[in-house]
């Protein structure tokens, strides 16, 4: 190689190295910052939580979702329908995130047919009491005599005045058991325990909450319900006097609407129906230690023990072993069911005939039904 060519080659290599060394190199701090600002994408990112859907209050429009969209097991649909039909069901609805994923009717029952809620309607009264307290009409610690007057029981006055609205909500009135737990005439209401000392499912003090509400608000409790809850969330239905009881009758979708309200902790979309969150919490959590599975007229799952209607026995089991632990429920005679499951954004409605043993609320049908629901959800 000629000397001139060698010199030229060495010069070019020197320039290239010099240019390369002049390029700015990222510092360790800059590399870390870039990693933070531009993280590697996750292989399986968590899906965003779907917002609750609320149907319009002035129409029958209700959005739906599908089993495929929710990754539920469509092969379990027909077994579920057959099971419901065989168990005397009239109407069955499941809401997922507020949308209808299942809605089935049986035996001539339709979307417009009305059915009694029986004691599942106790949950309506409980929310009315909370609203009335929020509005300053009453206080849970008030003696019931403040609203019904003295002598609403056959108790001595001193014992009668121990009973408060809170005792009526929690089934701890202390009233004696009778063959007719629905009778609220004074001669049917006698002393057995001090108020708050014992839990017993006694329908009479619950029913008298309707009179407490009417007295406190100076408004018929039926109108109070319609104004403060029903009309605001688009419910249809009416209260009907049956013997001593005031029973609520509605179509299945109205019960589903109320369940959706409970799922969203008393707020309908952006409208608070009950703003007192402390009351809502107390209503849907253990209200006393005598029966941990009972709130304010709501049944609660996932507790260490439960007492059933017409029983003094405490069973060391949750309300429903097959159901999610955070389930709250309105449960009525002859297997009227309103299930609300916050963790799974579920509302489930079952209306129909007695599907199991004669009962006033919880029954063996709850376990059977949840076994089918779990299969449907692919659990």
pLDDT of residue 37: 53
- Cβ atoms within 10 Å, residue 116: 20
Average pLDDT of the chain to the nearest whole number: 90
Question: Rounded to whole angstroms, how far apart are CA atoms 37 and 323?
Answer: 43
The token pair at 85 is: 């039909």
pLDDT score of 39: 54
CA 124 to centroid of chain Cα atoms: 12
**Among candidates 103, 50, 88, 15, which has minimal Cα distance to 347?**
103
pLDDT of residue 96: 99
Distance, CA of 317 to CA of 321 (rounded, Å)? 8
The pLDDT value given to residue 66: 97
Q: Which of 263, 286, 277, 281 is nearest to 171 (CA)?
A: 286
- 18 — pLDDT class (breaks 50, 70, 90): very low
Q: Indicate if the pLDDT at residue 21 is higher than 80.
A: no
- DSSP, residue by residue, 347-372: EEEEEES--SS--SS--HHHHHHHHH
pLDDT band of residue 45 (cuts 50, 70, 90) is low
How much is the pLDDT for 379?
A: 85
Residue 310 pLDDT exceeds 50: yes
Q: pLDDT per residue over 58-98, tens digit each? A: 999 999 999 999 999 999 999 999 999 999 999 999 999 99
CA dihedral of residues 221, 224, 226, 229 (deg, nearest 10) = -120
For 6-10, 48-52, 291-295, 373-377, which range has the lowest pLDDT when averaged over its residues? 6-10
Residue 32 has pLDDT above 90, yes or no: no
Domains (range + CATH), the chain: 74-138+203-376 (3.40.710.10)
Taken as a whole, the chain contains a residue count of: 379
Sign of CA dihedral 307, 313, 314, 318: negative
Of residues 28 and 352, which shows the higher confidence score? 352
pLDDT at position 50 = 85
DSSP string covering 35-79 = HHHSPPPPSSPPPPPPPPP---TTSS---B--TTTTT--GGGHHH
Query: Tens of pLDDT along 134-189?
Result: 999 999 999 999 999 999 999 999 999 999 999 999 999 999 988 888 999 999 99
Pick from 319, 356, 318: nearest CA to 334: 356
pLDDT in tens, 260-277: 999 999 999 999 999 999
Between 378 and 291, the more confident residue is: 291
Bridge partners, residue 295, by sequence:
none
Strands 336-341 and 346-352 turn out to be antiparallel
Exposed/middle/buried for 74, CB within 10 Å: 0-12, 13-18, 19+?
exposed
Taking 50 as the threshold, does the pLDDT of residue 111 lie above it? yes
Write down the pLDDT at residue 2. Answer: 40
Identify the CA nearest to 122 among candidates 297, 328, 363, 319.
297
Contacts of 235 (CB under 8 A, 6+ apart): 229, 250, 254, 257, 258
Query: What is the pLDDT averaged over residues 26-37?
Result: 49
Distance CA 55, CA 254 (A): 11
pLDDT at 230 over 80: yes
pLDDT at 276: 98
Residue with tokens 């010069």: 11
Please give the pLDDT value at position 264: 99
């Amino acid at each position: 190689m000629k000397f001139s060519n060698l010199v030229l080659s060495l010069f070019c290599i020197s320039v290239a190295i010099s240019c390369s060394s002049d390029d700015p190199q990222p510092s360790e701090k800059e590399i870390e910052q870039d990693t933070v600002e531009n993280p590697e994408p996750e292989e399986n990112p968590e899906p965003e939580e779907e917002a609750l859907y609320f149907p319009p209050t002035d129409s029958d429009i209700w959005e739906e979702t599908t089993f495929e969209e929710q990754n539920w097991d469509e092969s379990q649909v027909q077994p579920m329908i057959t099971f419901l039909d065989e168990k005397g069901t009239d109407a069955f609805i499941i809401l997922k995130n507020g949308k209808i994923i299942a809605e089935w009717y049986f035996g001539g029952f339709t979307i417009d047919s009305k059915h009694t809620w029986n004691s599942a309607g106790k949950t309506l009264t409980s929310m009315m009491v909370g609203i009335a307290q929020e509005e300053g009409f009453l206080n849970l610690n008030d003696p019931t005599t403040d609203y019904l007057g003295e002598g609403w029981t056959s108790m001595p006055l001193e014992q009668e005045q121990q009973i408060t609205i809170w005792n009526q909500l929690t089934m701890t009135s202390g009233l004696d058991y009778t063959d007719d737990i629905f009778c609220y005439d004074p001669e049917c209401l006698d002393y057995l325990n001090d108020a708050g000392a014992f839990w017993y499912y006694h329908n009479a003090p619950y029913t008298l909450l309707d009179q407490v509400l009417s007295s406190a608000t100076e408004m018929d409790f039926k109108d109070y319900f319609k104004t403060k809850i029903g009309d605001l969330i688009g419910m249809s239905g009416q209260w009907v006097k049956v013997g001593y009881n005031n029973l609520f009758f509605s179509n299945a979708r109205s019960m589903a609407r109320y369940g959706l309200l409970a799922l969203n902790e008393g707020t309908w979309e952006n409208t608070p129906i009950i703003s007192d969150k402390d009351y809502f919490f107390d209503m849907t959590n253990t209200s006393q230690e005598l029966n941990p599975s009972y709130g304010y007229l709501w049944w609660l799952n996932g507790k260490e023990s439960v007492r059933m209607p017409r029983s003094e026995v405490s069973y060391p089991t949750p309300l429903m072993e097959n159901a999610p632990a955070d389930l709250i429920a309105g449960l009525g005679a002859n297997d009227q069911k309103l299930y609300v499951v916050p963790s799974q954004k579920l509302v489930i409605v079952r209306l129909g005939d007695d599907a199991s043993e004669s009962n006033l609320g919880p029954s063996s049908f709850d376990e059977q039904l949840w076994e089918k629901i779990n299969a449907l959800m692919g659990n």
